[in-house]
Chain A
Amino acid sequence: MTNEDLQNIITGLGTDLEFTTEGSEFLNVIVPKEQLHSICSQLKSHPELKFDYAFCITGMDWVPALGVIYHLESTELRHEIVLKVMVEDRENPVLDSVHDIWQTADFHELEIFDFFGIKFNNHPKLRRLFLTPEWEGFPLRKDYVDEANMIIK
């Protein structure tokens, strides 16, 4: 399915969605965070979309907003899109978990929590996965400072 066809279908799934293909090989859909879960579940269940394979879930720090990028593919129809969601609050960023839609999100959300500090509603067990429980700060944020262990040029 072409990007235009995908855009036409996805437009009807929510409100205030932004579409762009600038600087990317995929169709990028920017989703308001309140609608994330409902749009994701429709993307998977819609008979013409069937995005059942989340092949990459990336945490992101677009200073000042934090966010998550979902790379999705349909294993049956073989089309791909990129979903982006942003959260402005750096002190207490919260998004909805999508682990009940794509179970791979369980671990990827743990990784994002560990490195970016984004909390996920309804996640089964949000915890530090790589770092120790007492670790302070979130290392992949752009404003993270650790003078002892980081060499900054």
Chain B
Amino acid sequence: MTDQQLKNKIKTEEYFINMGPQHPAAHGVLRLILTIDGEIIKNVEPDLGYIHRSIEKMCERDSYQQIVHLTDRMDYLSSHINNVAVCLAVEKGLEIEVSDRVKVIRTIIDELTRIASHCLWWGVMGMDLGALTSYFYAFRDREMINDIFEETCGARLTMNYNVPGGLMFDIHPNFVKRTKDFIAEFKTKIPEYNLLLTDNVIFHKRTKGVGILTREDAISFGVSGPTARGSGFSSDVRKHHPYNAYDRVDFKEILFTEGDTFARYQVRMMELWESISIIEQLIDNIPEGETKAATKAVIKLPKGEFYQRVETARGELGVYINSTGNKNPYRVKFRSPGFSNLSVLNHISKDVKIADLVATMASFDFVIPDIDR
């Protein structure tokens, strides 16, 4: 009997199972309704809303200073970058130019956030594929960044360090030294990461050729961030629409063309080095200047629409503010990277095994509150 005849003979019925909302590989409350034939996935339908807080509606009620504090509850691993995005949009409306000092500090903390986020992603990516050690390695190193944040911002996860017009307060006197110490130590850790996972033959077999996303699909589905760059789509907002101090630092946009899970993995691993390089270029030359431009206690944006794009650890975050001239915005929209990245999952997961879907999802680096908002 040929394989095909055998397949026809032992045909199974299609059925559906729920993956989530309490599934460890979803890293949050994401529910996927999988239609499967045996172990082969035929359809993936995400069902969202388990952690939806309607932040966009809450923004219509709040003042512009208050909105900043809501955004680090979206993608909590890029909380600082989210805060900066809102501040930049409000500053655009007020036509405030923040000082060079603020720009540089924001850039350094942005990149530290990106390293912390990629660390966590690396740990859980290994864990999703059954390698628990990576989780402990990554959390050990991420802890050092959280300590730096705690000292300067007063919080470890939801930093709230930015206000429209600048920073809430200046950096801690230890900030520069601790950041340099961290960079020096972290440089010795990345080779360990590579030994553990990147060069691991089992890891290669689980990730190479799995979940292939073409460049055309990435653009059409609005995929952004490292996920898109693994497919060769040059989507780095820091390069194409520079903000903060990104126009004065030298860094490469990491691009791979394979589009598989391993390519997305490599993009993030190499981005760690780029983030380190950006911090090293800036950390010794933080210019002097004021840390906060003068703003009124009640901020009123002029009538109009303001849009700010930033690159979070997951991709492109867009903040759209529509103002009618009041102290509250008329409408706020957050274009979150996770939501658009999730939309492509069904397209690239047809006719793969469930275990490969887990590997693909791990390389997409979903944060569910970012998808749900």
Contacts and interface: CB of A to CB of B under 8 A. Distances in A.
Contacts of A129: 47-49
A104 B222 contact: yes
Interface stretch (A8-16, A23-31, A86-94): A23-31
Interface string B36-53: 000000000001110010
A149 B303 CA distance: 29
A52 B304 contact: no
A55 B309 contact: yes
A24 B305 contact: yes
B304 A23 contact: yes
Given A107-B339, A107-B343, A139-B54, A152 B222 contact: no
Contact of A53 (B61, B222, B322): B222
A111 B222 CA distance: 15
B316 A55 contact: yes
A130 B61 contact: no
Contacts of B333: 56, 58-59
A122 interface: no
A71 interface: yes
Interface residues of B, number: 40
Given A55-B222, A140-B56, A152-B61, A104 B340 contact: yes
Contacts of A52: 219-220
A69 B344 CA distance: 22
Nearest to B305: A24
Given A55-B318, A107-B343, A130 B372 contact: yes
Contacts, number: 88
Given A104-B220, A104-B340, A107-B340, A24 B56 contact: no
B57 interface: yes
Interface in B27-84: 47-49, 52, 54, 56-57, 61
Contacts of B56: 140
B343 A106 contact: yes
Given A104-B343, A151-B61, A75 B320 contact: no
Nearest to B332: A58
A103 interface: yes
A139 B219 contact: no
A61 interface: yes
Contacts of A25: 92, 306-307
Interface of B is mostly: mixed
Interface string B82-122: 00000000001000000000000000000000000000000
Contacts of B222: 53-55, 102-104
Given A24-B304, A71-B318, A75-B234, A103 B52 contact: no
A75 B219 contact: yes
Interface string A140-153: 10000000001111
A103 B221 CA distance: 5
Contact of A130 (B49, B221, B318, B344): B49
Which of B54, B224, B233 counts the most A-chain CB atoms under 10 A from its CB?
B54
Nearest to A25: B307
A118 interface: no
Contacts of B335: 55-56, 58, 71
B331 interface: yes
A143 to B, nearest CB: 13
Nearest to A144: B57
Interface string B266-308: 0000000000000000000000000000000000001111110
Given A58-B320, A75-B234, 4 more contacts: A22-B304, A23-B303, A108-B340, A153-B61
5 contacts: A54-B222, A75-B235, A103-B217, A107-B339, A108-B340
Please give me the 6 A-B residue pairs with the lowest Cβ-Cβ distance, nearest first: A23-B304, A104-B222, A130-B49, A107-B343, A56-B335, A58-B333
Interface of A: 22-26, 52-56, 58-61, 69, 71, 75, 78, 82, 102-104, 106-108, 111, 129-132, 139-140, 150-153
Interface of B: 47-49, 52, 54, 56-57, 61, 92, 217, 219-222, 224, 233-235, 240, 302-307, 309, 316, 318, 320, 322, 331, 333, 335, 339-340, 342-344, 347, 372
